[in-house]
């Protein structure tokens, strides 16, 4: 159980790290207007606090999704490794009787 929890936490951390690098470029690409000629800027008045709130909210949401996906992946890896370990232990322990040994000649 301890190994499963450690793998889930490591997976969540890895998911957060990946999301921290992947979400900002994706958010920038998603919010970029299409069809404008190169070098053209959109003239707009924006409320900076709302823009910051939107961007950080999307980043945190992406990190939560990454953490959940990583935790699920870590749990799945832990279950897979545990079942594999049990199968190998069962095969070694008592699957078949030991081979008979030859008795020494008198």
The string of DSSP letters for 9-43 reads HHHHHHHHHHHHHHHHHHHHHHHSPSSPPTT----
- Beta strand residue intervals within the chain, DSSP E: none
Residue at token pair 């008045």: 45
Q: Is position 99 within any domain?
A: no
Question: Does the residue 43 lie in any domain?
Answer: no
Residue 15 lies in a domain: yes
Residue 44 has what DSSP assignment?
A: -
Residue 101 domain-assigned (yes or no):
no
Residue 97 lies in a domain: no
Supply the pLDDT for residue 50: 84
- pLDDT per position as a tens digit, 32-47: 666 666 766 666 777 7
102 in a structural domain? no
Domain with 70 in it: 2-32+49-91
For residue 106, is it within any domain?
no
User: What is the total count of domains within the chain?
Assistant: 1
Decide: pTM greater than 0.75: no
């Amino acid at each position: 159980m301890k190994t499963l929890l450690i793998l889930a936490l490591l997976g969540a951390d890895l998911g957060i790290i990946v999301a921290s690098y992947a979400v900002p470029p994706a958010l920038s690409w998603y919010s970029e207007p299409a069809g404008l000629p190169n070098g053209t800027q959109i003239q707009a008045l924006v409320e900076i606090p709302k823009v910051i709130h939107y961007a950080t909210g999307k980043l945190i949401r992406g990190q939560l999704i990454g953490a959940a996906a990583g935790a699920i992946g870590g749990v799945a890896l832990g279950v897979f490794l545990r079942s594999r370990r049990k199968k190998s232990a069962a095969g070694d322990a008592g699957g078949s009787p030991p081979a008979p040994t030859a008795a020494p000649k008198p």
